[in-house]
Amino acid sequence: MPIEVTKDTQLGRAIAPLANAHPGESGVLLLPDAHDAFAARAVLAKGAEASLDVQYYIWQYDITGTLLLDALYKAAERGVRVRLLLDDNGISGLDDALAALNTHPNFEVRLFNPFVVRSPKWIGYITSFQRLNHRMHNKSFTADNQAAVIGGRNVADEYFGAGQGALFADLDVLAIGPVVQNLSTDFDRYWSSASAYPASTILGKPDEKDLARIVETAKACSTSTEAGEYVCAIKESVFLQKLLDRDLDFTWAPVTMVSDDPAKVLGKKPKNGLLAQQMAAAMGNPQHSLTLVSPYFIPTKTGVEMFRDLERKGVRVRVLTNSLEANDVAMVHAGYAKYRKPLLEAGVQLFELRKLSANTVEKDLQSSLMGSSSSSLHAKTFAIDGESLFVGSFNFDPRSVHINTELGFVIESPELTQAMEDHFEEQVRVTAYEVVLDEDGDLQWIERNGEEEIRHSHDPGTGLIKRMLVSVFSFLPIEGLL
């Protein structure tokens, strides 16, 4: 159960006057910058006094994952009740650490839809595919039931720009006000669901020294060169102090939390229990424009017809997704590629993010909503009619609609919606290919570099073998699993 009385925490005392001044509205702050998104989570953990409720699909034991686990552990040491709910599909290498943390009196870990065989986990798909194919894709980080971060980012270095690997362009939201209470209630629903298992029933019994090893691992990580900028980001961040001083520039607006019922992973479809239904009800039908950003975009025939109908009604539809060179899941790209021509014939404006280095684009674009210095798109957001904006974990694909559970906010703010649409317009010219049909009805990719315009006749930046594999994959009857 949630800890109800948190108004007297430092976060509660800071937020109450702001919330009282905006009855019925929640304060939201977009977090497109990877370092800001990391710092927001770390300092919320540092500032919590009563509870931390944390829910993720992926949590890696890398630089950022280690530092955030350490922040949760230190909170538990201060007497904060920590509840960590993780989908069991994305926690490779964490079993011993989680088992040890679960022995702390203030730290409880639960695993969602767990694998019985711990290593190798893939064996579970042979015997229990129907169950294990459903995953909890939700991502949230809530402190004292007063402030929360939700969005597209998992906890791993590629989501926060750490290390030398790929950086995912992503988008989170920091929220305060009544929507956080709704989020806390939703967390409890997942925490107590039939698919959430106490870690002690799944993981092996920890060694007495495992907890000490976690502390030593975090200490070693925090002193490493690779982690230096993140340790500094926490130490130098004025985010918490600005929040306590009521000095953060929140946008206040009606915000609706939308979330799948956790029973979805059991194959059940409770009435009004699906995020897609709730989102449609909250956002209404587009009348003028729909701007959609989705890294894994598989519209299906139904989606293509929906977009075609919107275009016939005069609604401008624009979509940004990953190009083949930027997509980290080629199989998913195959599910999307076969719909490019039908989408364009329906009148949709289609853009694909290029794989770019940090030096490729102008610095003043590098903190925008699409993450211009990134090598792969991971943000999931869309805007309707310049009035309402969705941010969350939902991809526009069959897996998000029918298989996984998802979470997000619908924000009724013309200010933020217009900002998203303006950034979209600005960025697709610099960081994306525009996909069009030529006079013969064949696909072309337009690459713009300043005044220069280059036209490609096949997926840019890719080899023949990769393109052939995608073509083969596109014929396989697996769309419903993507």
Question: Which structural domains are found in the chain, ordered by start?
Answer: 10-244 (3.30.870.10), 254-481 (3.30.870.10)
**How large is the average pLDDT for residues 192-199?**
97
pLDDT score for 358: 46
- Confirm if 433 and 446 have CB atoms less than 8 A apart: yes
**How large is the average pLDDT for residues 135-154?**
97
Structure confidence at residue 410 as a pLDDT band (50, 70, 90) = very high
Place of tokens 């001083």: 245
Express as a percent the part of the chain with pLDDT over 70: 94
Structure confidence at residue 223 as a pLDDT band (50, 70, 90) = confident
Comparing CA positions, the residue from 163, 139, 137 lying closest to residue 67 is 163
pLDDT score for 401: 93
Lowest-confidence range among 385-389, 405-409, 447-451?
Answer: 447-451
Kindly report whether the peptide bond that precedes residue 17 is cis, defined as omega within 30 degrees of 0: no
Separation between Cα atoms, residue 288 and residue 314, nearest integer Å: 7
Find the helix or strand (DSSP H, E) in which 391 lies: strand 388-392
pLDDT score for 2: 55
Separation between Cα atoms, residue 25 and residue 256, nearest integer Å: 10
**How large is the average pLDDT for residues 23-39?**
93
**How large is the average pLDDT for residues 118-125?**
91
pLDDT in tens, 229-273: 788 877 777 877 888 888 889 999 999 999 999 999 998 877 788
- Confirm if 267 and 44 have CB atoms less than 8 A apart: no
pLDDT of 1 strictly over 70: no
Greater confidence, 76 or 211?
Answer: 76
- Confirm if 58 and 136 have CB atoms less than 8 A apart: no
pLDDT score for 363: 35
Instruction: Tell me the helices (H) and strands (E) count for the chain, helix number first.
Output: 17, 21
pLDDT score for 227: 86
**How large is the average pLDDT for residues 320-334?**
86
pLDDT score for 222: 86
- Confirm if 152 and 379 have CB atoms less than 8 A apart: yes
Please enumerate in sequence order all residues whose Cβ is within 8 A of that of 106, keeping only pairs 6 or more positions apart, or say none.
Answer: 76, 77, 79, 80, 81, 82
For the chain, the C-alpha Rg in angstroms (whole number) is 22
pLDDT of 475 strictly over 90: no
Structure confidence at residue 5 as a pLDDT band (50, 70, 90) = low
For residues 153-186, one letter each, b for 16 or more C-beta atoms within 10 angstroms of the residue's C-beta and e for the rest, the string is bbbbbbbbbbeeebbbbbbbbbbbbbbbbbbbeb
pLDDT of 92 strictly over 80: yes
Virtual CA dihedral for 138, 142, 145, 147, nearest 10 degrees?
-120
> What does the angle CA 253 – CA 170 – CA 481 come to, to the nearest 5 degrees?
105
Catalytic residues: 137, 139, 144, 378, 380, 385
Sequential DSSP letters for 304-321 = HHHHHHHHHTT-EEEEEE
**How large is the average pLDDT for residues 133-158?**
96
- Confirm if 232 and 226 have CB atoms less than 8 A apart: no
pLDDT in tens, 371-383: 434 468 888 999 9
Pairing verdict, β 81-90 and 51-58: parallel
For residues 258-278, one letter each, b for 16 or more C-beta atoms within 10 angstroms of the residue's C-beta and e for the rest, the string is bbbbbbbbeeeeeeeebbeeb
Separation between Cα atoms, residue 259 and residue 273, nearest integer Å: 8
pLDDT score for 347: 96
pLDDT of 121 strictly over 80: yes
pLDDT of 453 strictly over 90: yes
- Confirm if 258 and 279 have CB atoms less than 8 A apart: yes
Supply the pTM of this predicted model: 0.92
Q: For all residues of the chain together, what is the average pLDDT?
A: 89
**How large is the average pLDDT for residues 269-294?**
90
Phi and psi torsions of 125, nearest 5°: -70, -25
